[in-house]
Structures are given as structure tokens and as C-alpha cells.
A and B are shown apart, each in its own frame.
Chain A
Amino acid sequence: MSDNLAELEARSIYIIREAYARVNPMAMLWSIGKDSTAMLWLVRKAFFGRVPFPLVLLDTEQEMDEVYAFRDMLTKEWDLPVINHMCPPEEEMDQTLPPATRAAMRKTEGLKSLLLEYKFKGVVCGIRRDEQGLRAKERVFSPRSLDGAWDFKDQPAEFWDQYKTEVPDDCHVRIHPILHWTELDIWRYMKQENIPLCDLYFAKDGMRYRSLGEKNITKPVPSNASTIDEIITELETTNTSERDGRAMDKETEDSFEKLRSQGYM
């Protein structure tokens, strides 16, 4: 294959099919953002238009209105098997955490209760290595204990596309089919495949969202990019990081590590 996107796509499809063949039951986290929507497209490619496992929104009721509207539109149009799973309220979180980290913890707790309720052995997540230093160290198949804890000091060996697909009864596997993609790859793919996307990514009045999180902890960044082409051009020349608008990454040096080791995506 000569084309980089074709190579990325083939690898992701291989991973998705491998998960489907080996891990049962499983679900995919669909946050309605660009990464998990691109991943949803890859799932449909892998199964020739079908989606053979549930798509889960870990709902904090804090997503932006446009996100909910976009989700409802696609669910109907593509006939998607969606589970809307409510996260526990913020009052139940560890109150010693900084506020934005605490808000993000709700997703972690929501995921735990999802796993308890549905007994999923595998959860497909759309994280990428280039997003953040810790995610760069992830495996494609990443085993977790029931409470979601990530034992990053003793990750399994993973090579030659053979994965750790089996885990003990009380554990599950996180599956990361787009780990090897970059932000720019995602946008180029969106363009190539003409994948529909939530409007918030496109600039209005000089601002756009580069990464979509909940409204209380995500901010738009200054930008005039109002089309996919303009976004691609912007990314090719920018030097700011993608998660710049995400508050919880930076409250303390290790706040994201703490979140992840406790089970955050």
C-alpha cells in the first residue's frame, strides 16, 4: 500500500476484527467527538456497514447541546445500537481532587458502573498516542482490573500484532484501534471518507473546538478554520497542543496520570 491513510485504516480494521473475534461481550465508547466518530466509521468498514456491538455514551449531562443533537441524528440515520449510560454525580467524586480532574473522574466512575452492569470483557476506546505522553505508552490491547486501574509499570509485552486478548474473570481489556493515528491523520481521513462531524469543530466568530469535552471543562480555541480543508491547513502549521482546551490535563504535573491509572480513557 502506498498511501499512509490506507495503511492506518487497514491496521485499525485488523484490530477491530481481532477484538470482535476474541473478546466477547464488548462495547465501544462513542463520545461523539471526531476520533470516536472516525473509529465508528472504521467499525462500519470492518463489518461492511454493520455495527455488531453497542456504542456507549458515558453521559454526564454536561455534553454540549450540539453534541447530543449530532448523536441523535447519526443514531437514527445509521441505525446505531446506542447505550446512553449515566455517570454518577460529581458530589460522589473524591473531593480532594482539583475541580476539573474531579469532573473528569465522573466518566471513570461511569465506565466502572457500565462494566458492572453489562459485564463487558472488552471496551473499544478511541485514544491516540500523539494526544498525550501517557497515552503514547499505551498498548493496543490494554488489560485492566475491574476498578479500571491501569498497571502502567507492568504492561504486557505486545508485538507482531499478537495481543493479550484473554484476561481473568474480574478484568477487562481496553482496545485502542486508532492508537497509531495522529490528529492530522484523523482530519485527513474525515475529509477523504466524507464522515459527518459535529459543527462545534468548525470556527464561528473566530473560535472553534479542537477537542470536545464536557461544557464545564472544555474551552474553544481561537481559530478561523471553518472547513475541513482549513482545519488541516491550520494543524499543519500550528504548534499548540490538541488538548490545550482541556483543563484537567494540567492542574498538576501528574493529574492526567492519576486519572488514567484509576481508569480514565
Chain B
Amino acid sequence: MKQRNKKSNQQLGVVIVGHVDHGKSSLIGRLLHDTDSLPAGKKEELEAICEKRGVPFEWSFLLDAFQAERDQAVTIDTTQIFFSTAARNYVIIDAPGHREFLKNMISGAAQADAAVLVVDATEGVQEQTRRHAYMLHLLGLQQICVVINKMDKVDYSAEVFSKVSKESVDYLKSIGLNAGHIIPISAREGDMLVERNTNMPWYKGKMLTEALDALELSSPAVALPLRFPVQDVYRFEEERVLVGRIETGTLNKGDTIFFSPTNEKAVVTAIKSWPEEKDSLKASAGESVGITLDDRIFVERGHLGSSEKNLPILSNVFRANIFWLSHTPLKVGNSYKIRYGTREARVTVQSIDNLIDTQDLERQEDASEVARNAVAEVTLRARDMLPIDAHDMNAKMGRIVIYEGYDVAGGGLINMEGYPDQRQSAEPKSENIYKVMHSVTPDMRAQRFGHYGGIFWFTGLSGSGKSTLAVAAEKEIFERSMNAYVLDGDNVRYGLNSDLGFSPEDRAENIRRVGEVSALQASSGVIVLSAFISPYQADRRKARAAAPSYFHEVYIKADLETCESRDPKGLYKKARSGDIKQFTGIDSPYEAPSNPDLVVDTEKNDIETCVKQIVDYIVENVGLGEIGEKEVAIENRVVSIKQR
């Protein structure tokens, strides 16, 4: 390849797309030949292959390297080949046009900075022309050249060109794409690629190579806010290094980096280099880096680093414009694994809001499934809060890949329209809030009541014995002249939380409110016994975060079989018969505590033993003996979470 280093170092990725047989591979072959980018003897080799097969010379054989591709004269998989003009270097990505190979087309096109859409002058816009154009739009590709190919077959007619180009541009416009250039070409004759030739004197615009040279590289991700998805955490001797690629923005040594969804922050003490001794001071979008922090905050793969000022949205629900590639349709209610950045999450399809026909752009509302090769707008719900960027705010981060089993089954762009940032719910919504500084301290209260406040959070399956034990322990503690109060799931749902049902998000809100009420009660000096199934670890973590220094997680342990055989309220029976939906343990998950403060086994022990175990634990933990920095914990949550 000649003179590859004489130009700009930047390399532009160009994908060639279009309907099957409209001449994509031939265009590439011709382009490589005319720009002198083929190895010596390659053309002769192809001529020999064609002769041996008894077919006319085919440029497409150059890229169709598979025997099967040459046998069937069809491109199966995407391929990449390098070529250059006087101005710069290119990677040409050939994408198969056949409908069967859409996943390969997407695999190719997703790597490109720009696209050339090939349309056959004799056939005009066809099914795959539209589908590919729509995919370019879904992949976020903005720079598009349209070439009207096979002009030699229509006698280089300006009218045909004008008609076909109008048809192409109209479709692109309807999906919000603008063609930078529309160029009449003949790949076979080499017209308007590298040479203008004399066949189309009526065309005054740019030739293809000129149009490509005029394209800009994709907009610099450096200008966007910092996004640093943590890829891994390496522990070397004394050092802990967070590695990952800066997707957008820049990071400097000495910056404060804020991690989502944990809301933890620390200062960057080094951006490491190897083998250089001297570490870097700055790193920006595209760089794979390793950083060290001044504080040993909890960080793991999947956490997203940003600046404090420009945070990603936190949400457990979002909308996505997706394409679907799997043979099994995507269905409402199905659960899938998604990945974006380095994060992996489980989502459930809440609704298919619009099914889009890429041919006539008709929209079908409220469909029940998305078939293979179709595109749709869907609403996805995750169990945990996810740090999210909408695609229109951050094109690099705002896109997801959907997995089905081991396989990539689809992908799409995130759209947050209509969904609020839920990070706010952890912080006051109104700005005009000033905390009242109590003149009565926890110690003063403790002196008065003879004990400190505390939250003893009973979690376990329905029927495990939470309420029974809480009520018994409350009585026992009360009789010892201590102030205890039971918050029970059913009672709270009659009043404070009467507006909430049993969907995952309502359950989360239920627990959030109970967590806050428990925190208020505990800081007023009460021993709170909160008895809630609280099936999700994330929700219990939040309840703990509301008052970490008061919080004790008490796991009331009994397996599903035992609880179901007890069935004190007859609820399991109803759940089994389908009368109750989303019942924990039956068709809704229970996440047992991974590290509870106290485990009370109600399978092995009788009620009396369990109550004694609980009361002993409570008395031990609210006694006057241990005085902590409880006020600090309430006033500054970030600090207290960190100390946990």
C-alpha cells in the first residue's frame, strides 16, 4: 500500500451499505484498484479465479473471501479492508446486503464513522436500502453519502439519476438523516470514483473520493462530560488500581471523581503509565487508563465515574429504540441481560410502545412482541438503579446491547423522555430546605430514656415469623422499661403507604418510606422493630443508608417450604393458584441478606429462643455503654455510608 504515512494519522471508517446486488462489493473492489491500494498480483489472481470458475470478472471476489461467498456470489459476513486517498487513510467496511445477514451488517456498520449508501440506478430504493438506512439512523451514524450505481446501465441518464436520488433523499429525510452528497457512479466503469471520466458531463458535484475526503471524523468525545466506566480493579502489593477506558470527557490528576450508583467520591492521586516511570497528569476520551484514589471507597467493575457537576441520570426504568436480531421474538414480560459500558444489568420488558415498519415507517402501538430484524421502541425496567445517559446527551454511553443466553440478540439507543432522574429521591427535592439543628443530642435523649434509639430491620419470607417475633420482642423490651415500637408491613400499608401496590417499584418506594420513618423514630430515641419482607438487597441498602449508624439487619431465616407449610395468612395458597401475582418466593424473587447483622433461624429454634436471641442482641446494641458519633451520621450521609 503506497504512501500510507504521508497524511493525517486519523483513519476514517466507512461502511458501504445497500440492497443486495446493488454493487457494494464491486464498488469497493474498484475503489481499491483505482486508488492503487491492491497488493501486486491481486487483480491477476482474481482474474484467474474467475476464469477457473467460468464467470465474468468480478471485483466482489476480492472481499468475498469465503468459498461459500464466491460460490453463491453473495457477501455473508462483514469484512474490512484498508485504502487511502491523497488526503487520508480509510478502513472500508463491507456489509452484507442480504436480509438474512442483518446482524453482520450491524456488526460492520457500528464500527464506522460514515456510511456510503449504494442504490442501483436501474432498481431504485429497495427493501434493504430502507432497512439499512434505518439501521444507520439507529446506530447513530450521521454522515452519509448516497451513490447511485450502475449509471452505465441507464445510459448515464441525468433524469434517471434525478428520479432515483429524489427517492433516496426523501426516505432518508423521513427518518431524520441527511445525505451529504448524492453521486452518480459506475463501479464497473470506474466513473466518479477516483476519475470523473467523460460519461456524465452534466454532473458537477464531488466525486466519491472527494466526498469522502470532505467527511469529518466523528465528533470528539472529549468535549462531553467525563464518563469513566470501571472495567476492573487490580490490586498490586500496596496499591489499588482502577482500570478502564475514558469513554467521554477528560480526567486530570487531582480531580474529584464521583461514582454512580454508589454516590461515593474520591480524589485521583495518579494516572498510571507503564513502562514510563512518570505518571500522566491528564487523560482523555478513548484512552485506556489505570488510576489510583486517595480513599479506599468501594468501587467495582460496572461503576461509572464522572465529575461531581455532571452526573449520569439514576433510574431503574428507561426507554430504548432497539433493533432485534434473535430468532426468538422479544416479548413483553421477558427478562434479558443488557450491557453498556462495563455494566451488566437484568431488565424486564415492561412494554413495546411502538413497533416500526422500516419500509413505510408505520407505527404499531402496544405490540406484544418484536420479531427478528424488526425495530421498536420499548420500555425496560431494571431491578437496581442504573447510571444512565440518554443517547442524545452522550452517544457513546447512551446505548445498550441486549443478550439472550450467551448471544447478542439486539441493541438500541437509550431515550429518557418522560422519565425523571431518580437520584433526586435520595436527596431533598426542594432547594429551600435547611436542617434544624437539634439542641437535644442523642446522648441527652439516651440519658433520659436509659437507652439509645436503633433500627432492627427484620427481613425474611412471608410466614418466616417476622411480625410474630417483632411483636413479642417489642413486649419484652417494653417490659424492661425501654421504648420500643413495631413498624409492620400490613399496618403501614393501611395508612402511610396506602397509595402503593406490589409492583417492584412500589415495593421499593414502600421500603424507602419505611426506612425514612424508622430513621426519624430512631433518632427520636425509639427502638424501632421494622418487620418487612423487603425482598431486594438494594432497597435494604437504601433503608440502611437513611440512618446507617442505627441500622441492624436481622435475617429471619426459614426456607420457602417451611413458610409455605405455615402459611398463616393463606397467601401462599392464593399465590400458587394465581390469585395473587408477584408474590415473594413464588413469582417474585427474595434476595437473602449476604451479610446480616443477626440471623434468627425460625426453622430450627422455637419462638421463645428466637425472642430471647433478638432481645439480647437489641439490649446489647442500644445500651448506654457505647456512645458513637450518631449526630454526624445523620447530618452527613455520604460520610457515614463510607464508614460502614
Residues of A near any B CB (own CB < 8 A): 1-7, 9-11, 13-14, 17-18, 20-21, 44-50, 129-130, 132-134, 136-137, 139, 143, 152-153, 155-160, 162, 164, 166-168, 180, 182, 184, 188, 232, 236-237, 239-241, 253-254, 257
Contact = CB atoms under 8 A, between A and B. Distances in A.
A239 B272 CA distance: 40
B585 interface: no
CB-based closest 4 A-B pairs: A133-B65, A159-B110, A239-B40, A162-B401
Contacts of B2: 236-237, 239
Given A2-B9, A156-B408, A239-B40, A162 B65 contact: no
Contacts of B10: 2, 4
A232 B4 CA distance: 11
Interface stretch (B196-204, B281-289, B349-357, B513-521): B281-289
Interface residues of B, number: 64
Interface of B: 1-5, 9-11, 38-42, 49, 52, 62-63, 65-68, 76-82, 91, 103-104, 106-107, 110-111, 139, 231-232, 234, 236, 241, 243-245, 272, 274-275, 284-288, 290, 301, 325, 339-340, 342, 399, 401, 406-408, 411
A156 B407 contact: yes
B399 A160 contact: yes
Contact of B274 (A45, A239, A241): A45
Contact of A184 (B5, B76, B272): B5
Given A2-B9, A49-B274, A129 B231 contact: no
Contacts of A13: 288
8 contacts: A4-B9, A4-B11, A6-B287, A10-B245, A184-B1, A240-B39, A241-B39, A253-B52
Contacts of B68: 153
Contacts of A184: 1, 4-5
Contacts of B301: 21
A207 to B, nearest CB: 19
A236 B3 CA distance: 6
B288 A164 contact: no
A233 to B, nearest CB: 10
A254 B68 CA distance: 10
Given A136-B80, A236-B2, A3 B401 contact: no
A107 B335 CA distance: 42
A136 B245 CA distance: 25
Nearest to A6: B287
A168 B406 CA distance: 8
A232 B411 CA distance: 40
Nearest to A135: B65
B105 to A, nearest CB: 10
Contacts of A6: 287
Contact of A257 (B3, B4, B66): B66
Contacts of A7: 286
A189 to B, nearest CB: 13
B227 to A, nearest CB: 13
Nearest to A143: B406
Contact of B9 (A3, A168, A254): A3
B408 A157 contact: yes
B313 to A, nearest CB: 19
